[in-house]
Chains A and B, each alone.
Chain A
Amino acid sequence: MIELNVLLVEDNDDDRYLATRAMKKLSRPVRLEIARDGAEALRRLEGDGTPPAPQLPSLVILDLQLPRLNGSDVLERLRHNPATRELPVVIASSSDHPDELDRCRRLGAAGFIVKPLDAAKLEGLFATLAV
């Protein structure tokens, strides 16, 4: 089974801890990268504008409530960049946020997941996305 490259964008230390723990419990190998806010995530995914372009992960798990640039803003930026337009992005949130979730749906989020992440939820998500 091929190793899955996942970028987790999460500002909360506890959530990062629980997510990392859940990834380790998965039956398949996952290489987890962490970005602690939206700006860091964009720097990682878009690079500094000079070639070569950075290697993209197979999947981005994006927290909705981030300081400064929130999840939907980051998703909008990624969707407007031709290099990252097709990148699957899953929105993670601790509760329903109808307006923001609607916006993400319109922006083409690949899926939604309720925090905290655990192994069962991740397995289900990967199965749905077929990654």
Chain B
Amino acid sequence: MTAETRSTPPTTARTGAISRICGSIRGSFRAKLFTVTAAMIVAISTIFAVFFITHHRESEEEKLVTEGRLLARLLANHARVALFAGNVEQLREIADGAMATPGALSVTIFDRDNRPLVTVTRSADGSAEPAPAQEAASAGKPGLRRTGRRIEFSEPVVGSARATRESDLFFETGGTGGALAPLGSVRVVMDEEPIHRRLRSMIATTFLAAALFLLAGCGAVYGVIRGVTRPLTHLAEGVRAVEAGGSATIPVESSDEIGELAASFNRMVEAVWQRRREREEANRRIAELNARLEERVRERTAQLEEANRELESFNYSASHDLRAPLMRLNGFCQALEEECGDTLSRECRDYLRRIRGVSGQMERVIAAMSTLFRVQRRELAPRELDLSAMIRAIAATLAEGEPAREVEVTVEPEVMVCADTELLWVAMENLVGNAWKFTARTERGRISFGRAWRGGETVCYLRDNGAGFNMAYSGKLFQPFQRLHRPDEFPGTGVGLAIVQRVVARHGGRIWLESAEGRGTTCYFSLPPCPPPLERDDAMPHLDGVEA
């Protein structure tokens, strides 16, 4: 286990290096193309060189063998007479002459009994020299024998068996008639070394040429590859730049497909930027328009608010300024009654009573208007309050005012709302007052207050079984001074519901009425719920956790 672990790292490192190289080749198109091209050049060069060298070597060897065989045959022919005569001197001359052939390493002439008579060997400096005859001829037959880098050629020397003189041999033509008798044999040793030397130098030259070819080929291919990959690199950089949100123009280096690609890319980038500029321009214009619009809205709002304030102020002052003379009128009526009451006729006293009645009506209208304006002007101070308790208190006050009436009041307990106490009191006074008023002619009047689920929210309702009204007129309900009953049926200013509606609206709630003539009215209204109280545990959980 441990040994394996120890032996692992070098292997891993090696594998890692190889895989890195393979990875870079796989990852780079240039490296891939380059590798394939170089491998092809190397393979072609190698095949060519091997074929060429092999062929050359074979032809050279064939040439050497032919030369050797010819030399041996010539030597045998020349040596025939001298051998027949046993003229060693002549044989030596003949052997020396044979040694003039390049490539001949040694020449040996054997006698009939296979004894070497003459041996000439090429010395180290290249000159032929006689050597002592040592070895016996291996065979008297013509043949070829290779030993190391030498080739031995043996050729028998034959003459006619009938020849008795040297001259017989001169005119003899080989093999035309009569038996031949061996006279001896020659052996020529040819050296293959020069061939090998030439081959070696040729191999070296070939390799050099191949290397140069590879270099030149790679150079040329590199140029082509660069022509392909450089625009690709530019394109990739351009795409990255555009991706990062910038702009990029890449050089168009050629008019071929790659150049066309680069030009298309440039056009695309320009189009994208053009579109972006247009969009930014449009956005800027929209923002400008919005800003101008907002400014105008602000201006208009300010103008409206100012106008509203003036109107409210005017209304408020008007209601007050109307009230003062009315009070004076009342005062003078009272003075008239006090001073001259006894002297006035019954009719005049009735006029006086009516004047005071009218004055009272006007006072009530002005008071209602004043309340309406106050409801609109007052700054809200909302807080949590018990609406049920408020309704019960108002109902109790009404009951005290008219102890003779028997009205059943049902109130759902503890309905909590978040509202301005004073405004809500004014509103509920009007609302409960209405219910009280409109049940005046109903036997066993009932008023109930509670909560109900309407329109996706919890709303409050106040229901009575009083006179009710025709829903066809419900659109006029919240307009000030709009009345749905005659004064002799039910008295009132027609401002009450307008006040209630404004109070509810100012709290962000909504209000509507459902009614039918003779069957009572239900008023629904919503008020914002109180925000949940912040508990200490919820507010600071981390601190508690740390302390724990």
Name A's B-contacting residues (CB within 8 A).
12, 14-15, 18, 21, 65, 94-98, 114-118
Contacts and interface: CB of A to CB of B under 8 A. Distances in A.
Contacts of B320: 65, 94-95, 97
Contact of A95 (B324, B328, B331, B334): B324
A14 B334 CA distance: 13
6 contacts: A12-B324, A18-B332, A21-B335, A96-B370, A115-B324, A116-B331
A12 B334 contact: no
A118 B370 contact: no
Nearest to B327: A94
Nearest to B334: A118
Contacts of B331: 14, 18, 115-118
A114 B323 CA distance: 11
B104 to A, nearest CB: 146
B502 to A, nearest CB: 17
B323 A18 contact: no
Contacts of B330: 116
Contact of B328 (A18, A21, A97): A18
B328 A98 contact: no
A63 to B, nearest CB: 10
Given A18-B335, A21-B335, A97-B320, A116 B328 contact: yes
Q: Which 4 pairs across A and B sit closest by C-beta, in order of nearness?
A: A116-B331, A94-B324, A95-B323, A18-B331
B374 A116 contact: no
Given A95-B366, A98-B374, A115-B324, 20 more contacts: A14-B331, A14-B332, A15-B328, A18-B328, A18-B335, A21-B335, A65-B320, A65-B324, A94-B320, A94-B323, A94-B324, A94-B327, A95-B323, A97-B320, A115-B327, A115-B328, A115-B331, A116-B331, A117-B331, A118-B334
Contacts of A12: 324, 328
> Of B332, B366, B374, which is in contact with the most chain A CB atoms at under 10 Å from its CB?
B332
Interface in B278-335: 319-320, 323-324, 327-328, 330-332, 334-335
Contacts of B374: 98
Contacts of B334: 116, 118
A97 B319 CA distance: 11
A98 B335 CA distance: 29
Interface in B149-182: none
B332 A95 contact: no
Interface residues of B, number: 14
A11 to B, nearest CB: 11
B370 A95 contact: yes
A115 B370 CA distance: 17
B370 A14 contact: no
Nearest to B319: A95
B535 to A, nearest CB: 37
Nearest to B316: A97
A97 B374 CA distance: 10
Contacts of B328: 12, 14-15, 18, 115-116
Contacts of A18: 328, 331-332, 335
Contacts of B370: 95-96
A116 B328 CA distance: 6
Nearest to A96: B370
A95 B363 CA distance: 10
Contacts of B327: 94-95, 114-116
Interface in B344-375: 366, 370, 374
A104 to B, nearest CB: 16
A123 to B, nearest CB: 15
A95 B366 CA distance: 10
A89 B320 CA distance: 22
Nearest to B320: A95
A114 B334 CA distance: 15
Interface in B361-408: 366, 370, 374
> Of A65, A95, A96, A97, which is in contact with the most chain B CB atoms at under 10 Å from its CB?
A95
Contacts of A116: 327-328, 330-331, 334
Contacts of A98: 374
B526 to A, nearest CB: 28
Nearest to B367: A95
A115 B328 CA distance: 8
> Of B320, B324, B366, which is in contact with the most chain A CB atoms at under 10 Å from its CB?
B324
A47 B323 CA distance: 35
A96 B328 CA distance: 16
Contacts of A65: 320, 324
Contacts of A117: 331
A12 B329 CA distance: 13
A26 B454 CA distance: 61
Interface string B485-497: 0000000000000
Contacts of A14: 328, 331-332
A40 B328 CA distance: 23
A116 B332 CA distance: 9
Nearest to A97: B320
A30 B374 CA distance: 38
Contacts of B319: 95
A97 B317 CA distance: 10
A15 B325 CA distance: 9
Nearest to A117: B331
A65 B321 CA distance: 10
> Of B331, B332, B334, which is in contact with the most chain A CB atoms at under 10 Å from its CB?
B331
A18 B325 CA distance: 12
A98 B330 CA distance: 23
Contacts of B366: 95
A12 B326 CA distance: 13
Nearest to A98: B374
A95 B370 CA distance: 10
Nearest to B330: A116
Nearest to A116: B331
A15 B335 CA distance: 12
B272 to A, nearest CB: 65
A117 B335 CA distance: 11
